[in-house]
């Protein structure tokens, strides 16, 4: 799971807030850009499953934005994954999620910003929206600084400060709280980033405007924050005892090579309402099943096409790293612009994103829709999550899609959001039936029907239900999973690409 190279000494800060909307993304992204402008190699991280903020982090630092999710990956992987991303860097900045102590529902501190800060032994900088308060800010900061003695709040950055007089009142109040003020930011419309039904608009969709916004964040933070004081605080982080995660070593230490199963898509007796099911370590244990296609290809290094571009921006960097380590050649394509899949494609990964925003353009690209359908019907492995699920449906908001699944998709007013504990109900290209995995849902769409004859998952929390589709080599579901938690998923997928 880990490599011999440790990044435990990398200086680091966790950027937290009392609640969502306080300015964490502005401050975290601005700090990344400000320190990068000084010539530092800055490692960007995001607490939780969010895919959008890391895109802004990547733009600010020139490095891949990485998630640290103690629910999806387990607390034991937070340190190694952090060390993997921060290897060779001068500083790491970790943007928190929601309010500092908000984590997985019903799970205490699990996956909260405070939990990750403790796992990383990192000092916390609290970002406070001061727009509607003065002296009360001291009580707020004191409460957050003292609530959990294991969380070290090393400073506060005051956001949306109205005037010099307002700043003076805030500083006077905070003198008594014993928490230093490390920055004061005035209201600045130019750093605002547009939002829509699932949060911020991704970087890939904004292009030049996103570059300008990140530059404005960096300039504002550089002018309003004590960068020397923040760096000194980062240097005070405690040493980590873990080693850096490594994709190849993670695959080597995951369960043994897969064994045959009678038939792909077979489902066991209902594990959703039965015993706890197999552990996630079973995910890579079932090898090839069903007839192998005669499609020619490179036998030892299958080419796997991964959807990208503005419509499909949600992907964890570790997925591609695991696929590559498992022996695949990973090639990115853009379903909005490319009319054919990359030559020699043996498998397809279609992650999350916003196909509902680009439904007309995706539908208009009929040659690619046809190519995807033909690949799936030939039995090639296809892994689709959320946006990928919608793309494989017969139609999305009345517009033709790939038609791989006998289902329709449409936009909905209802937000579906939250962590999920799930069990695989059908053998598939990703997992053997009975495998337990954790995932995350985040969408405002509905697929009808919600599951096929062979469902992908039995969701155990918060409500028990079946979800998703397993059909030939296709695994399609709303559930986002993090493969670093179960490297056998990537190995199994690559093996199926090799033998299909």
The beta strand positions in 269-344, using DSSP E, are 303-307, 329-333
Residue 185: its H or E element: strand 181-186
CB 330 within 8 A of CB 363: no
Residue 367: its H or E element: helix 366-377
DSSP, collapsed to helix, strand or coil, labels residue 295 as coil
Rg (C-alpha) for the chain, rounded Å, is 23
Number of residues in the chain: 500
What is the layout of strands, in order, in the sheet containing 153-161? Answer: 66-68, 42-47, 91-95, 12-16, 124-129, 153-161, 181-186
Q: Which of 209, 13, 206 is nearest to 113 (CA)?
A: 13
Measured at the CA of 404, the angle between CA 403 and CA 405, to 5 degrees, comes to 90
Residue 249: its H or E element: helix 247-253
144 Cα distance to chain centroid:
27
Alpha carbons within 13 angstroms on the beta-carbon side of residue 160 total 16
Give CA–CA dist 220/183, Å, rounded: 10
Residues in contact with 370: Cβ distance below 8 Å, sequence separation at least 6, in sequence order: none
Residues in contact with 265: Cβ distance below 8 Å, sequence separation at least 6, in sequence order: 290, 426, 427, 428, 454, 470, 471, 472
Give CA–CA dist 61/74, Å, rounded: 27
Provide the terminal-to-terminal Cα distance of the chain, rounded to the nearest Å. 28
88 Cα distance to chain centroid:
22
360 Cα distance to chain centroid:
26
Alpha helices in 23-127 (DSSP H): 24-37, 53-61, 75-86, 113-120
For 141, phi then psi, to 5°, come to: -65, -40
Catalytic residue selected from 73, 225, 242, 386: 386
Q: Which of 83, 80, 81, 36 is nearest to 57 (CA)?
A: 36
Paired tokens of 253: 């230490």
Paired tokens of 183: 């920055």
Q: Is 73 a catalytic residue?
A: no
Give CA–CA dist 376/392, Å, rounded: 9
Q: Could you give the residue numbers annotated as active site?
A: 386
């Amino acid at each position: 799971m880990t490599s011999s190279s440790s990044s435990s000494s990398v200086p680091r800060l966790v950027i937290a807030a009392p609640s969502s909307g306080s300015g964490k993304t502005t401050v975290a992204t601005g700090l990344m850009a400000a320190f990068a402008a000084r010539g530092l190699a800055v490692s960007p991280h995001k607490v939780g499953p969010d895919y959008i903020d890391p895109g802004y982090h990547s733009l600010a630092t020139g490095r891949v934005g990485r998630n640290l999710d103690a629910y999806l990956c387990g607390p034991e992987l937070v340190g190694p994954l952090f060390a993997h991303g921060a290897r060779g860097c001068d500083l790491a900045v970790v943007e928190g999620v929601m309010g500092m102590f908000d984590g997985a529902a019903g799970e205490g501190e699990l996956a909260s910003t405070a939990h990750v800060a403790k796992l990383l032994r990192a000092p916390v900088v609290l970002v406070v929206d001061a727009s509607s308060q003065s002296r009360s800010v001291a009580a707020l900061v004191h409460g957050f600084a003292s609530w959990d003695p294991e969380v070290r709040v090393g400073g506060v950055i005051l956001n949306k400060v109205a005037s010099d007089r307002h700043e003076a009142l805030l500083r006077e109040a905070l003198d008594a709280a014993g928490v230093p003020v490390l920055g004061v930011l005035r209201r600045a419309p130019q750093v605002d980033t547009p939002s829509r039904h699932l949060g911020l608009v991704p970087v890939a969709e904004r292009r030049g405007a996103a570059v300008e916004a990140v530059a404005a964040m960096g300039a504002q933070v550089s002018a309003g924050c004590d960068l020397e004081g923040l760096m000194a605080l980062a240097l005070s982080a405690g040493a980590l005892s873990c080693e850096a995660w490594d994709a190849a070593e993670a695959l080597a230490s995951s369960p043994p090579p897969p064994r045959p199963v009678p038939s792909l898509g077979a489902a066991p007796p209902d594990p959703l309402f039965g015993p706890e099911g197999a552990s996630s370590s079973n995910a890579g244990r079932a090898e090839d099943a069903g007839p192998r296609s005669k499609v020619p290809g490179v036998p030892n290094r299958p080419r796997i096409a991964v959807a990208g571009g503005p419509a499909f921006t949600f992907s964890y960097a570790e997925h591609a790293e695991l696929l590559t380590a498992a022996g695949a050649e990973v090639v990115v394509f853009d379903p909005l612009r490319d009319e054919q899949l990359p030559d020699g494609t043996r498998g397809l990964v279609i992650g999350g994103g916003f196909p509902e925003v680009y439904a007309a353009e995706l539908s208009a690209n009929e040659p690619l829709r046809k190519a995807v359908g033909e690949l799936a019907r030939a039995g090639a492995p296809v892994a689709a999550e959320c946006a990928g699920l919608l793309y494989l449906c017969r139609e999305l908001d009345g517009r033709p899609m790939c038609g791989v699944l006998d289902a329709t998709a449409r936009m909905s007013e209802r937000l579906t959001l939250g962590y999920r504990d799930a069990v695989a109900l059908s053998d598939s290209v990703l997992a053997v039936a009975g495998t337990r995995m954790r995932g995350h849902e985040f969408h405002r769409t509905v697929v009808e029907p919600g599951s096929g004859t062979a469902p992908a998952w039995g969701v155990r929390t918060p409500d028990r239900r079946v979800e998703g589709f397993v059909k030939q080599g296709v695994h399609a579901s709303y559930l986002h999973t993090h493969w670093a938690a179960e490297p056998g998923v990537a190995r199994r997928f690559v093996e199926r690409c090799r033998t299909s």
